[in-house]
Structure 1
């Protein structure tokens, strides 16, 4: 028996959960649902363990764990590189196609809109068939579409290809995160989640480095896209060389009950999916709302930041690229650090504190002049913005129904992306119609004030949503069966009925009586 303090059961109902979750923020111990070997559940207060040395956490991962983690991280990082290859070159593309910057950001909107479709298709495929081949297909097609973008002769062709690009881009996140994190030991999940999410910022850094390397001439945007294409196809080919996720294969073999056989039927998969949605629809809606806030958070603060430095701060391409790189180095550091701290401090508390601190830094973020000052303030605000993001991969995995850890995070993340898809377009449209006068007398688009106001509203929205939402830190999902696994009933010859259709307590009682 556990020696931990018993806790009230986890509440049911929207308002009851919100009230309980808000109250739990102010208790250091975590309310945890514990299940014993007989399937009996109880709720208790568990004190978080002190944070161990991060190197000792890294040492817990086997070589196989590291291989899967690194491949998953690489896929997510290159996915981000592919996306930011466009967003950091908005000005070049506007010149190339003779369009306004707002029109160019339409491509970002279309990409984000269709990512949710890809997340649903490839996420469910990942839960049904495994993590490997959906990811291979995603990455190779992404590379091909990057090449197709280069050869778009008209702006209409450009928008069409970027829409298709979004469809396949959406399938990467869920499978990559599931493959990377599902075998990570429980107490190492926080830091590994932070590093995983930082792959998005690392992709931005690599794209900015490529942009810096090719120079500021208009046609150089194509070189960055060639690099992105090569990396995407490369990681897809590398993934072919490694086997399916061990965690998925083990879960696929449904645990035998009283000598039963395991099977897996397509109809069972879709039936279980429907049952999951019927049972967990409130959790789905909550996660979609949370991810809508988070996607507005990142896209509003970063997609137009290079344009902000080029237009309002009047930096050249090299200066703006260097400042963007340092800004996202801060994001990588924040995602890793705060993701690590969330293992001890709590997922929601880490998100809330990071969001509020980022809001406090907004004036220091948009008011400075010059490359050095903008680099420093960009570093610190992105430390907390992506610090909050660093908690998200494992937070979504812990909130997910265990058998749907590939589809659930991917779908909710990408639906949030779809809802927030106009964020860069909104920022550009408002900024290009609102002007500020610089000290030198130039009248320029007001990117800084627009991004600052939007980010402040979003940060407060995230803090409020997380404060009243659920948390399942430390949830045990390693032994969950794969979606669609069906345990065939085992007939008791003496009794004449199917034993494993009965509750666990009745089966135990029957065995004792027979003995």
Structure 2
């Protein structure tokens, strides 16, 4: 590069100096957990063979009561998000009977939710990155309250679809903010295990929806028990609102806010076009990080395909192909979801030893090995055990996703970027059940009761195997920023130095460049 200095805004600096930042971040220290590349020196081998990275106690001890409060709030918000979504999924038959429509008509309400989640991710993501985590979180929870109550009063299919469409926007805005609330201010040593526990909260939300749907049977009029269930699920978001009101804004965002204030204060009238606004943040994110966005969308599509492809038709397979009754089906689904939650916790911590990408590859191989017992065996014991371990590895992958996604997303647009790519990946995978249904027509069978049917187990096995291979390719060719400092932001660093804008030479890191010290094991 020519020896010339460029006038750069703080946002430009993060993009142009990214390589220099990575070079300084990765210190040549055998005991540094920040190091992305494996250290094969004698000291490094001794350090890793001690398995000290698997000890989660030191990291959790560093968490303050405020850290725990933020994490539990974010995790509970993600649980409530899942529960409020699945209460309709588990009640489709009753809703269809009351509205005098087919189950297919009611499932359009589920499809609309998934289609509009990306809209919510954009709206609430930009709001969270520009106005703070606190108030967009509260507004999103308030939308949950209003829409769950409203859904309990619908009288026609059109009203039901309209309310669920609006719910999709609110639901799409929850992931990015909940994940940021739970993870971004946490100690780096605790981040992996916390990430592993975070996303399986979605499975816990599903279990709550199943349990409460059975608990509310007979609590209202015939075929209208789902109303009392929806009214009940409007309550937990109120608790989230009260909880969030008692907590301060996140430290990361406060640093960002001060940096933006200093940046905007230095601008002259002629430079007002460089003022940082929500719109300029969105444009800058798309302009400078578009390639990473595209990669993450493809990666998250694979993860979403893995869960949808292995779960959406599993209940149908148990009932229609294996002829299990409702109680056996419920028991199997509960057990495999417990396996999913355990897998997220285990691999969330194991990734501290193996790294993000290697852990994902291990999960993909493990899931591939479990395809046969999970889908192609016949007894209830075999399917339960096989399904447990299959979801153990699939959700083990998902346990790595929140922290891996945060480490790859640009810090200044963390909520916007992580929420949007997650929801776009989810949207891409929403067709998985349709794809599997079409594949099923290629494998007709005769069920044990003599009726014609399809070999759903074989279809899901083929689909899941292909998705595991796809995810492995994506992570192998993709980047990893293991233990990236989530508190780091070029913008905030400039503010702390009192340098909102300055002449920056991009050939080498500044001598004043500050970085967190390596973590010693």
- How far residue 484 of structure 1 moved from its aligned partner, in angstroms, is 13
- Name which of structure 1's ranges 397-406 and 473-482 shifts more when overlaid on structure 2: 473-482
- How far residue 214 of structure 1 moved from its aligned partner, in angstroms, is 3.9
Q: Does 1:63 pair with 2:53? A: no
> In structure 2, what is the equivalent of residue 242 of structure 1?
247
The whole-number CA distance in structure 2 between the counterparts of 1:499 and 1:169 is: 37
The whole-number CA distance in structure 1 between the counterparts of 2:215 and 2:161 is: 26
> In structure 1, what is the equivalent of residue 368 of structure 2?
359
The whole-number CA distance in structure 1 between the counterparts of 2:494 and 2:345 is: 35
- How far residue 443 of structure 1 moved from its aligned partner, in angstroms, is 3.3
> In structure 2, what is the equivalent of residue 493 of structure 1?
none
Q: CA RMSD in A?
A: 3.6
CA contact (8 A) 2:298 2:425 kept: yes
Deviation string, structure 1 residues 321-352 (Cα, Å, up to 9, x no partner): 22211111111100111111111101111112
- How far residue 247 of structure 1 moved from its aligned partner, in angstroms, is 2.6
- Name which of structure 1's ranges 152-161 and 336-345 shifts more when overlaid on structure 2: 152-161
The whole-number CA distance in structure 2 between the counterparts of 1:86 and 1:313 is: 25
Deviation string, structure 1 residues 355-392 (Cα, Å, up to 9, x no partner): 22212212211234454443322211111111111111
The whole-number CA distance in structure 2 between the counterparts of 1:339 and 1:121 is: 29
CA contact (8 A) 2:77 2:174 kept: yes
The whole-number CA distance in structure 1 between the counterparts of 2:179 and 2:287 is: 24
| Counterpart secondary structure, 1:144 | helix
Relative to structure 1, the CA distance from residue 352 to residue 391 in structure 2 (aligned partners, 3 Å threshold; closer, same or farther) is same
The whole-number CA distance in structure 2 between the counterparts of 1:90 and 1:267 is: 46
> In structure 1, what is the equivalent of residue 196 of structure 2?
194
Match of 1:343 among 352, 358, 361: 352
> In structure 2, what is the equivalent of residue 110 of structure 1?
112
- How far residue 167 of structure 1 moved from its aligned partner, in angstroms, is 0.8
Q: Does 1:306 pair with 2:315? A: yes
- Name which of structure 1's ranges 123-132 and 424-433 shifts more when overlaid on structure 2: 424-433
Match of 1:251 among 244, 250, 256: 256
- How far residue 275 of structure 1 moved from its aligned partner, in angstroms, is 2.5
Match of 2:143 among 138, 141, 144: 141
Q: Can you give the 5+ residue segments of structure 2 that lack an aligned partner in the other structure? A: 1-20, 28-33, 513-521
CA contact (8 A) 2:260 2:276 kept: no
| Counterpart secondary structure, 2:234 | helix
> In structure 1, what is the equivalent of residue 399 of structure 2?
390
CA contact (8 A) 1:334 1:383 kept: yes
Deviation string, structure 1 residues 391-435 (Cα, Å, up to 9, x no partner): 110011000111111111111111111222233344456658975
Match of 1:439 among 435, 441, 448: 448
> In structure 2, what is the equivalent of residue 77 of structure 1?
79
> In structure 1, what is the equivalent of residue 30 of structure 2?
none
The whole-number CA distance in structure 1 between the counterparts of 2:383 and 2:225 is: 25
| Counterpart secondary structure, 2:23 | strand
Q: Does 1:457 pair with 2:466? A: yes
CA contact (8 A) 1:90 1:101 kept: yes
> In structure 1, what is the equivalent of residue 12 of structure 2?
none
- Name which of structure 1's ranges 143-152 and 100-109 shifts more when overlaid on structure 2: 100-109
Match of 1:224 among 229, 238, 251: 229
Q: Can you give the 5+ residue segments of structure 1 that lack an aligned partner in the other structure? A: 1-30, 491-497, 510-515
Match of 1:51 among 45, 50, 53: 53
